[in-house]
Amino acid sequence: MDFSEKDSVDAVLASFADTPDPRLHEIVDGLVRHLHGFLREVRPSIAEWEQGIEFLTAIGQKCDEHRQEFILFSDVMGASMLVETMEAERQAGGASGATGERADATASTVLGPFHVVASPERALGDTIDSLGTGEPCLIEGSVTAPDGTRIPGARIDVWQADEQGSYDVESGGRQPLGNGRGLFTADDEGRFWFSSIVPAHYPIPTDGPVGALLRATKRHPYRPAHVHFIVEAPGYVPVTTHVFVEGSEYLDSDAVFAVKQSLVRDFATVDDAEAAARHGLPNPFRRARFDVVLQPAAA
Ligand SMILES: [Fe+2]
């Protein structure tokens, strides 16, 4: 039978019919049906198909050990947040509300493309900023279960941009690798604290094909100021999330759709000479509190 627009999906699905892994079978079938549906809807010319191939090729070619253009593409298309949201729903056993939030646990959000350098292990109270050019801040919190049980020894991996909105890996050597990053272990009462600088809002990288897409579609590339967190502990569902800086620009138009109101925190100015001295900070300083609640893993 000749290949035809009407029968294209059936022909390709048949070619995958013997896929042994049922999940892989489901995924390739869905991909074929939606890809063909997309092509029948937009009816690309050969020249446009070539442009599409060149775009995806450029995304791959832009990737290296410090640059993840495919995650960036997923992020600006809202795909990362959709997967993240569905994952949270799955982890909650489908028992959560329409928002996909785990009812009791800290909301998750995108990993983003900058978790590409292992965070240096640091002691509680250390600073993650070695340059001292930004506004000093203290970030503190606790890690607990939904019933308030404290989780000693929880691991808290943090990374953030500096006051100019750059991560270490994209600063062109201005920041040493590992700056703005830290891996902390909560104390016996599940508490953590470290100092840093208040991060700035920033544009996602625009020097690649994703930037070209944003320009062609008149979208801005900015993300509101935030600190990334991954918090994990044995027996609990890990959470990948951010703390957003209250009052930051772009909280209502994040280029990657990652803002959740429950993750916005006041980075308040504190005038407390004793606390400043205790934490090795100048007075006054900024302080934010982020208490993390982890869902117990299914038995
Ligand atoms: Fe970020």
Question: What 3-state class would DSSP assign to 82?
Answer: helix
pLDDT digit string (tens) for 138-150? 999 999 999 999 9
For residue 37, the CA-to-ligand 1 centroid distance in Å is: 34
For residue 78, the CA-to-ligand 1 centroid distance in Å is: 15
Cα-to-chain-centroid distance, residue 132: 25
For residue 123, the CA-to-ligand 1 centroid distance in Å is: 23
DSSP letters along 55-74, please? HHHHHHHH-BTTB-HHHHHH
For residue 226, the CA-to-ligand 1 centroid distance in Å is: 6
For residue 245, the CA-to-ligand 1 centroid distance in Å is: 12
Can you give the pTM of this predicted structure?
Answer: 0.88
For residue 2, the CA-to-ligand 1 centroid distance in Å is: 50
Highest-confidence segment of 96-105, 110-119, 260-269: 260-269
For residue 112, the CA-to-ligand 1 centroid distance in Å is: 6
Amino acid of residue 112: G
For residue 135, the CA-to-ligand 1 centroid distance in Å is: 18
For residue 294, the CA-to-ligand 1 centroid distance in Å is: 21
Rounded to 10 degrees, the C-alpha dihedral 148/153/159/162 comes to 80
- pLDDT for residue 176 is more than 50: yes
DSSP 263: G
Q: Looking at the chain, list the stretches that DSSP marks H as alpha helix, in order from N- to C-terminal side.
A: 8-15, 22-42, 46-62, 69-76, 79-91, 209-216, 273-278
For residue 155, the CA-to-ligand 1 centroid distance in Å is: 19
pLDDT digit string (tens) for 188-239? 999 999 999 999 999 999 999 999 999 999 999 999 999 999 999 999 999 9
Average pLDDT of the chain to the nearest whole number: 93
